[in-house]
Amino acid sequence: MVEVQTQVSLAEHTTLHIGGSAAEFVSVDTEGDLISALNCSIPILILGAGSNLLIADTGFAGRVIHIQTSGINLIDNQLNVAAGENWDEFVLWAVDNGFGFFAPLTGIPGTVGATPIQNVGAYGTEVSELIESVTVFDRLTKEKLILNNNQCRFGYRNSLFKQEPERFVVLQVQFKPVKVEQIEVKYEELAKKIGVNVSDLVDARRVLAAVREIRASKGMLLDPTDSDTYSVGSFFLNPRVSEDIKTELPSEVPAWQQQDGSWKISAAWLIANSGFVPGYRVGDASISSKHMLALCNRGKATAKEIMQLAQEVRSAVKSRFDIELEFEPTIL
Ligand SMILES: Cc1cc2nc3c(=O)[nH]c(=O)nc-3n(C[C@H](O)[C@H](O)[C@H](O)COP(=O)(O)OP(=O)(O)OC[C@H]3O[C@@H](n4cnc5c(N)ncnc54)[C@H](O)[C@@H]3O)c2cc1C
């Protein structure tokens, strides 16, 4: 039997510390309770740790289901993790237990179940590279399904789950249980930090420590004493453009060619070159002082202020470079 609370403030459930109240709020720590909580006639929001959510100041006029299921199981060569597990703690456990490929994804806030939603990634690794399959509840057919990696349709900060947000609830994630002590360093900045070259093999624990140091220096590691971390991480995606558009941009723009020939352009560079400086503010909403892609709450910022700032950045980039930036978090 699930307990339904009413008028629960959502600000304390998000890393931005922003958001009005939920009409209904249900915390679930078993899959059975989660599935029965889904059975209601008002809109539903699935909540993990609220680290990729901008919730309106007016709140959410429906039922918020806060997933708190737990369990990390290594059985029959399967590494199966419950959706409600804390991602960063799981990564520390995984690397300590020899699953070295997880190391570059250390320090990303949130739950395990949210990682496939936007295919989280950092420092040259995306979670989709580590996922074998995802166990979901399909709200349309009311069935529990296991989707293999291909069926999840992973892309850059994208997946089937992001494309059909009303449909799938992630219950568990099955990761590839590959044990390696050393991993390839795929990211220039990380290689520099460790003092090696890109493509070198390095002990996964060393990679993990270096990633955490870099993340802390950019306000990308949660720290209650640092308002630069009161964010959703990157608010903007790096845009993808064609070869033709890329050639019209200044030659110094950081850009990475993709397998299909298109180019991924640094959104941080576009913003910095559209007239914004670190710490730029709209009321209590500001660009991070350490990272141009993060929008932060300096105290009493509202969702409205964050959106005003986000739109201001977007229109400046559009008018300077004719590129439309896309927002990364779920905006309600
Ligand atoms: C400081 C900081 C640094 C960050 N760095 C990175 C980074 O390096 N790389 C990166 O990719 N992201 C990063 N993020 C974004 C964020 O941490 C990830 O997107 C994370 O996976 C969100 O997890 P969550 O549990 O907080 O999800 P929430 O914010 O609670 O939810 C996000 C979305 O997923 C949906 N959702 C959550 N759980 C489930 C589920 N079980 N089933 C179905 N839908 C679900 C929600 O409905 C919502 O639409 C960062 C955020 C912060 C604050």
Whether the model clears a pTM of 0.85, i.e. scores above it, the answer is yes
Identity of residue 18: I
CA distances from 180 to 99, 183, 187, 197, 202 (A): 6, 7, 19, 19, 11
Q: Is any ligand 1 atom within 6 A of the Cβ of residue 100?
A: no
Domain ranges of the chain: 5-67, 70-217, 227-331
pLDDT, position 154: 97
- From the list 287, 288, 270, 277, the residue with the least C-alpha distance to 219 is 288
CA distances from 210 to 90, 213, 217, 261 (A): 18, 5, 11, 31
Nearest residue by C-alpha to atom 40 in ligand 1: 170
Q: Is any ligand 1 atom within 6 A of the Cβ of residue 127?
A: no
CB 170 within 8 A of CB 138: no
CATH topology of domain 70-217: 3.30.465
Tokens 């905006």 appear where? 331
Nearest residue by C-alpha to atom 32 in ligand 1: 52
pLDDT, position 291: 96
Q: Which two tokens stand for residue 38?
A: 């889904």
CATH topology of domain 5-67: 3.30.43
Can you tell me the distance from the alpha carbon of 293 to that of 288, in angstroms, rounded to the nearest whole number? 8
CA distances from 330 to 21, 102, 106 (A): 17, 25, 22
CA distances from 249 to 73, 128, 201, 269, 274 (A): 49, 31, 35, 11, 13
Residues of the chain with confidence (pLDDT) below 70: none
Q: Which two tokens stand for residue 252?
A: 């110094």
CATH topology of domain 227-331: 3.90.78
Q: Is any ligand 1 atom within 6 A of the Cβ of residue 231?
A: yes
Segment 251-263, tens digit of pLDDT: 999 999 998 999 9
Tokens 């959706």 appear where? 83
pLDDT, position 77: 79
234 as an active site residue: the answer is yes
3-class SS at 114?
helix
Ligand 1 centroid, distance to 72 Cα (angstroms): 19
Q: Is any ligand 1 atom within 6 A of the Cβ of residue 46?
A: yes
Instruction: Say which DSSP state 227 is in.
Output: G
Q: Is any ligand 1 atom within 6 A of the Cβ of residue 16?
A: no
CB 293 within 8 A of CB 267: yes
pLDDT, position 96: 97
Q: What is the 3-state secondary structure (H, E, C) of 286-331?
A: EECCCCCCCEEECCCCCHHHHHHHHHHHHHHHHHHHCCCCCECCEE
Expressed in angstroms, the distance from the first to the final Cα of the chain is 28
Is residue 131 within a helix (H) or strand (E), and if so which, with residue range? strand 131-138
Among 33, 117, 139, residue to substitute to test ligand 1 (most atoms within 8 Å of Cβ):
117
Among 13, 33, 44, 51, residue to substitute to test ligand 1 (most atoms within 8 Å of Cβ):
51
Can you tell me the distance from the alpha carbon of 114 to that of 45, in angstroms, rounded to the nearest whole number? 13
Segment 273-319, tens digit of pLDDT: 999 999 999 999 999 999 999 999 999 999 999 999 999 999 999 99
Q: Is any ligand 1 atom within 6 A of the Cβ of residue 107?
A: no
CB 51 within 8 A of CB 110: yes
